[in-house]
Structure 1
Amino acid sequence: MAYVNYLSIFALSALLAGCDNPQMQTQDGPPLHQKNVSLIPNATPRYLAKSRFGNPPSYQVNGQTYHVLNTAVGYNQRGIASWYGSKFTNKLTSTRERYDPYKMTAASPVLPIPCFARVTNLGNGRSVIVKVNDRGPFAPNRIIDLSYAAAIKLGYEQHGTALVEVAAIDVNNPYPNSPNFNARHPQLYLQLGAFSEYPNAHRLQQQIAYVTDRTTHIRTSDIRHKILYRVQLGPLKGVGESDRLQALLQKEGYGRAITLIQ
């Protein structure tokens, strides 16, 4: 899952490249001794100095480059969340703290650590506040890995993943606006490309039809008075189908698609 033990900032890239990728290991689960998570409070946002560990400008895992943000302020993203449990209990996080599945913590591949974020399950509207103190997840299209306790509070510990919104918290304004939660089930798409010319988008749409029978759409958006044509696949049935299609598209040479939640 999300655990990466950094010996130093300078050793980061080598260590990540050389170790087994925890995100790809599946033998994890809930702690043996269950606790009442309703008694566990949210993390309390407060100023914390940036860690000397785990904050390089960029690093690589499995051929994918991740760029660590200079600041968490303004970060707001929707995507797929996972969780990690007993397998990593008491192991060092990227900030060299001990992981406790019953603390309100999380891992992010790009947020500066430590920082605080509010995570909202878009499927049911539940929210938690967590301290981000680790790196990961590194599975495709995952944007955050939550502790077991946080996953229970968000109601997805039985499913493994959830569609979420992650909003970094400015400690000077620790209560960001609530997300625009819609009671309907969020829809999941894969964006395969964005083009300034329609024929290029249409060409990709036709090519994708030979790879999968899932519906593709060309949607337009106005970015700084320039029209972009976005090729999107979906809506998909869930994270499982998204993962399967992502693997298929990469196998066929189309690269990594972008996950969109609408």
Structure 2
Amino acid sequence: MTLFFSSLQSRWLLTGLSIIVIAGCSSSDSRYDIDNDVAPTTPISVDHIEGAQPKYEPYSMGGNKDYKLRGQQYTIVKDAQGFTEKGQASWYGKKFHGHLTSNGEVYDMYSMSAAHKTLPIPSYVKVTNTDNGKETIVRVNDRGPFHEGRIIDLSYAAAKKLDVIKTGTANVKIEVITVEKPTGKHQLDKHPKYGIQVVASPHKDRITKLSNELSNTLSVETFLSPIKNNYRLMLGPFSDYKDTHDALEQVQKLGYTSAFVKKL
């Protein structure tokens, strides 16, 4: 009975944490140091801070699932290449400084970052303040803003660069900057590796046969990972998290609904 309640409490805790992380900068949770968001007490100059430098990054394991918030369903953009959007930008600062973003990073109001409701995390976005013509590049690593008409929440530093601090909001155009995945084994080794565990079995001959079948059907690499008296059938390795999830969807459609992603 004790074990049952411990397991149940753990699931409740994880569910609660997931909701908090998805909510990102929209939350008014008491875990924050202050109730209302403000600029830093003693602002530092951000003139020396350059816009984010676009580079290839695999999508993060956190913050990239479709979600529902306040009765609204949000579907994450699968392919952001060529994505543009017009609307209002707002900003967030001291209240969220030092707290987790939707993908588990720590929010730094002096970084050139931003929050968007549906762009994959991370994404690099060129933001143009159409009210004054100023522009900069930010890295999206959070979810929000969840207010009507607002399409992006800028960090304090990014908002300062675009002169959004004074007005609170501004009309903007955002354009996703896509960086192609690097080729060559040496370059890919710099990025995290992911695998998909399909099944585990003590029967090596059977799982080897299944491994070959899945490899041919899905056109992906497979391998066996021995653990104690079992063999785990793995797909991969993958260096791109989007590719990993595409393969996961395919294998689940074949009936292996318990398959899951592991960081190798």
- TM class, shorter-length: 0.5 to 0.7
Separation in structure 1 between the aligned mates of residue 144 and residue 22 of structure 2, nearest angstrom = 15
Gaps of 5+ in 2: 1-10, 30-34, 182-264
Separation in structure 1 between the aligned mates of residue 101 and residue 21 of structure 2, nearest angstrom = 17
**Which position in structure 2 is the counterpart of 1:61?**
69
Which of 156, 163, 169 is the equivalent residue of 1:148? 156
Q: Deviations over 1:157-196 (max 9, x none)?
A: 01111110010001149xxxxxxxxxxxxxxxxxxxxxxx
1:96 equivalent to 2:104? Answer yes
1:35 equivalent to 2:44? Answer yes
Which of 10, 22, 28 is the equivalent residue of 2:26? 22
Within-5 A mapping of 1:41-56: 41-56=50-65
Separation in structure 1 between the aligned mates of residue 41 and residue 52 of structure 2, nearest angstrom = 23
Return the offset for 1:139: 1.1
TM-score, with length taken from structure 2: 0.57
Residues 59, 16 of structure 1: alpha-carbon distance in 2 compared, 3 angstrom cutoff: farther
Separation in structure 2 between the aligned mates of residue 110 and residue 20 of structure 1, nearest angstrom = 12
1:86 equivalent to 2:90? Answer no
The answer to whether the Cα contact below 8 Å between 1:104 and 1:149 also exists between their aligned partners in 2 is yes
Separation in structure 2 between the aligned mates of residue 20 and residue 95 of structure 1, nearest angstrom = 9
1:112 equivalent to 2:120? Answer yes
The answer to whether the Cα contact below 8 Å between 1:151 and 1:157 also exists between their aligned partners in 2 is yes
Separation in structure 2 between the aligned mates of residue 132 and residue 14 of structure 1, nearest angstrom = 19
Structure with higher helix content: 2
1:121 equivalent to 2:125? Answer no
Q: How many residue pairs get matched?
A: 164
Return the offset for 1:62: 1.0
The answer to whether the Cα contact below 8 Å between 2:83 and 2:176 also exists between their aligned partners in 1 is yes
RMSD value, Cα: 2.8
Return the offset for 1:71: 2.1
Within-5 A mapping of 1:204-219: none
Identity among equivalent pairs (%): 43
The answer to whether the Cα contact below 8 Å between 2:88 and 2:171 also exists between their aligned partners in 1 is yes
The answer to whether the Cα contact below 8 Å between 1:107 and 1:134 also exists between their aligned partners in 2 is yes
**Which position in structure 2 is the counterpart of 1:138?**
146
Q: Secondary structure at the match of 2:95?
A: helix
The answer to whether the Cα contact below 8 Å between 1:121 and 1:163 also exists between their aligned partners in 2 is yes
Return the offset for 1:33: 2.7
Residues 19, 127 of structure 1: alpha-carbon distance in 2 compared, 3 angstrom cutoff: closer
Separation in structure 1 between the aligned mates of residue 163 and residue 154 of structure 2, nearest angstrom = 12
Return the offset for 1:35: 1.3
Within-5 A mapping of 1:183-198: none
Residues 144, 55 of structure 1: alpha-carbon distance in 2 compared, 3 angstrom cutoff: same
Return the offset for 1:105: 0.1
Return the offset for 1:90: 0.6
Separation in structure 1 between the aligned mates of residue 24 and residue 108 of structure 2, nearest angstrom = 21
Separation in structure 1 between the aligned mates of residue 105 and residue 21 of structure 2, nearest angstrom = 22
Separation in structure 2 between the aligned mates of residue 101 and residue 46 of structure 1, nearest angstrom = 21
One-letter amino acid of the counterpart of residue 85, structure 1: G
